[in-house]
């Protein structure tokens, strides 16, 4: 599990340690230098003789970068520090100089001993580097992107035609550290070396697209205090495996969970096939289908039972248009069971327009950004698709607050907002998964998961958000497995589910090999 702490949470953990004289910056900069040396070795075979440019802002983030630069200079790297502020971390600057590094500035220099260079010249230095360390801004960044001459430098380095390898120190400078927003120039990183724990902006879109590979370095901050919740979580294989319902010898199809799927119409029969197939292939005990295309469904999935009956979870909406009277009636009727008997439900596509006024967190909405914008607009918020894409967690949370439902917002990074402030950001899928019908498959996976864990949902409402994140993880991994490195179709993703789930459980040691 990868957890993200906010800047305030990090500062609260740092404060007593710094007061006690714990050398946090030494630890951070040492680990940073080790990672940069690793990059140099991997890319050039050796560390000595490489050229590194350190971009250093006026705070401790610049201090980390300068100290790391000094360590690299000590290993034979030609180091140039470019400072973006008149005052920078004094000890870091002295260390760079003492180790033989050279220093220039793009800011107004305070003393005569730093040569001022134009932004273009500093960017040209970066262009010739094997690696650039971005220590312009860390968790002390105020909103609105990188300002002043530092912003001009970040833009100029980012626009270089032959971009050097960029290592972000703690976070890529310019991202919204706590909310993942991007509102000005950001220096996209190839690698982010972050201290203590990930920060929300490293996991949340759109900033998460700027972070490259993320390495979390333990600098001894310990953990969050009792009862404090990480701001955002990203589940990994062992977490998903631990949440996946695995049958035992005494299980039968009803204890494993029955999924009722109300999907597809005569115009869109494929959605019914994909959603039911995904539910079957995710290990539901039984899948029932309600709708007008039962024959097509059974032709593809003979295991599916057509017609009403008891279910533990529902999948509403793939391929359903709300003006289809039959499906509309079935969904509205089934929602009564959801509200009265506590059956879980996945509400997708056309069914989002049929959502009752208020539901519980055992109902999971699965909109993409456009659908969430439409839903929120109906609920009185002023937001369009671009607005949702700019701040996905904020809007997913608002939808949770206004509807009571758990909200899974689909996208390149899938964001989940649920009860008790639960927030997940999953980036498991190849971009090839952005294909028609992929959402129907996700709905089926989640339906099977909810049916299998329905008894636990009502004891722990925040579990639903974790299950939604698990569904996104399995969906993404199934897409990778369906055709590694190439295009996938939704049916192939559904077909890859049994193997994906078996691998997941094996990898986590939940199943014997
Ligand atoms: N407190 C500590 O001793 C430790 C801090 N650490 C490092 O220190 C960083 C935090 O350091 P700071 O709190 O000094 O803050 P930063 O270094 O992130 O930024 C503060 C500086 O940036 C300027 N600034 C803020 N917003 C700006 C904007 N939008 N545009 C342009 N300039 C802006 C401020 O005026 C100030 O000079 C962490 O990210 C981490 O890299 C680590 O070394 C671990 C220990
Ligand atoms: N750039 C991307 N990278 C990875 N996955 C993506 C990307 N864009 C969309 N997806 C995923 O693809 C699926 C598309 O679902 P959806 O928009 O509902 O399509 P449909 O309605 O045609 O099934 C979602 O699971 C979403 O998270
Ligand atoms: K940085």
Q: In 3D, which of 237, 294, 301 has the Cα closest to residue 266?
A: 294
CA distance 317 to 272: 9
Q: Work out the number of other CB atoms within 10 angstroms of the CB of residue 242.
A: 15
CA separation for the pair 240, 466 (Å, rounded) = 8
Name which of 238, 247, 245, 446 is nearest 362 in CA terms.
446
480 lines ligand 2 (CB under 6 A): no
Q: What residues pair up with 288 in beta bridges, in sequence order?
A: 260, 305
Question: Taking CB atoms and a 6 Å cutoff, what residues make up the pocket around ligand 1?
Answer: 14, 18, 24-25, 28, 57-62, 64, 85, 137-142, 144, 146-148, 150, 169-170, 195
**Segments making up each domain of the chain, as ranges:** 2-234, 237-507
- What are 190-230's pLDDT values in tens digits? 999 999 999 999 999 999 999 999 999 999 999 888 888 88
Tens-digit pLDDT profile for residues 331-356: 999 999 999 999 999 999 999 999 99
Predicted complex: ipTM over 0.90: yes
Specify the residue with its C-alpha closest to ligand 2, atom 2: 412
With cut-offs at 50, 70 and 90, classify the pLDDT of residue 512: low
Query: Does 260 carry a binding-site annotation?
Result: no
237-507 in CATH: which number? 3.40.1190.20
48 C-alpha to center of ligand 1: Å?
A: 29
Q: Is 414 annotated as belonging to a binding site?
A: yes
Atom of ligand 1 nearest to the CA of 137: 18
Tell me the pLDDT tens digit for each residue of 309-320: 999 999 999 999
What gap in Å lies between CA 273 and CA 337, rounded to an integer?
24
Mark out the alpha helices in 45-166 (DSSP H runs): 60-74, 90-98, 119-127, 148-158
Q: Do domains 2-234 and 237-507 have the same CATH topology?
A: no
Quick check: 398 pLDDT over 60? yes
Which ligand is nearest the CA of 191, by number?
3
Tens-digit pLDDT profile for residues 94-149:
999 999 999 999 998 777 789 999 999 999 999 999 999 999 999 999 877 899 99
Ligand 2 pocket test, candidate residues 263, 277, 411, 431, most atoms within 8 A of CB: 411
Do you know the residue count of the chain?
A: 513
436 lines ligand 2 (CB under 6 A): yes
Query: Could you tell me which CATH number the domain at 2-234 has?
Result: 3.40.50.10260
**What is the distance in A from the centroid of ligand 3 to the CA of 8?**
17
């Amino acid at each position: 599990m990868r957890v993200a702490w906010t800047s305030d949470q990090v500062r609260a953990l740092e404060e007593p340690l710094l007061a006690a004289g714990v050398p946090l910056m030494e630890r951070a900069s040492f680990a940073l230098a080790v990672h940069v040396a690793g990059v140099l070795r991997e890319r050039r075979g050796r560390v000595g003789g490489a050229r590194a440019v350190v971009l250093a802002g006026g705070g401790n983030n610049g201090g980390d970068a300068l100290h790391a630069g000094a360590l690299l200079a000590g290993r034979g790297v030609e180091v140039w520090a470019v400072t973006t502020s008149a005052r920078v971390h004094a000890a870091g600057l002295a260390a760079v100089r003492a180790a033989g590094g050279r220093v220039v500035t793009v800011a107004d220099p305070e003393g005569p001993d730093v040569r001022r260079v134009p932004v273009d010249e500093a960017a040209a230095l970066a262009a010739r580097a094997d690696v650039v360390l971005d220590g312009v801004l860390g968790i002390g960044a105020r909103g609105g992107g990188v300002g002043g001459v530092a912003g001009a430098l970040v833009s100029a380095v980012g626009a270089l035609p032959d971009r050097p390898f960029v290592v972000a120190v703690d976070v890529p400078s310019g991202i919204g550290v706590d909310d993942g927003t991007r509102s000005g120039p950001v220096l996209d990183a190839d690698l982010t070396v972050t201290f203590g724990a990930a920060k929300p902006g490293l996991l949340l879109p759109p900033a998460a697209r700027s972070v490259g590979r993320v390495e979390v370095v333990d600098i001894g901050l310990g953990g969050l205090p009792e009862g404090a919740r990480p701001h955002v979580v990203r589940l990994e294989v062992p977490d998903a495996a631990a949440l996946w319902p695995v049958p035992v010898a005494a299980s039968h199809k009803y204890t494993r969970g029955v999924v009722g799927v109300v999907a597809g119409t005569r115009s869109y029969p494929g959605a019914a096939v994909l959603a039911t197939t995904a539910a079957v292939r995710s290990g539901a005990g039984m899948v029932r289908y309600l709708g007008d295309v039962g024959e097509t469904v059974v032709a593809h999935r003979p295991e599916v039972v057509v017609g009403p009956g008891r279910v533990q979870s529902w999948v509403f909406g793939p391929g359903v248009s709300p003006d289809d009277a039959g499906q509309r009636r079935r969904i509205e009727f089934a929602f009564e069971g959801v509200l009265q008997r506590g059956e879980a439900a996945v509400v997708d596509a056309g069914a989002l327009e049929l959502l009752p006024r208020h539901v519980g967190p055992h109902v999971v909405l699965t909109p993409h950004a456009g659908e969430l914008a439409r839903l929120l607009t109906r609920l009185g918020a002023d937001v369009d698709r671009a607005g949702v894409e700019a701040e996905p967690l904020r809007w997913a949370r608002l939808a949770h607050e206004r509807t009571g439902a758990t909200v899974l917002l689909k996208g390149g990074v899938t964001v989940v907002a649920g009860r008790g402030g639960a927030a997940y950001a999953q980036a498991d899928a190849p971009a090839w998964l952005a294909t028609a019908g992929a959402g129907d498959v996700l709905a089926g996976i989640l339906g099977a998961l909810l049916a299998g864990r329905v008894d636990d949902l009502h004891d722990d409402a925040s579990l639903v958000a974790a299950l939604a994140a698990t569904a996104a993880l399995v969906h993404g991994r199934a897409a990778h497995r369906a055709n590694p490195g190439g295009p996938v179709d939704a049916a192939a993703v559904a077909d890859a589910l049994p193997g994906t789930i078996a691998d997941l459980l094996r990898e986590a040691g939940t199943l014997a090999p």
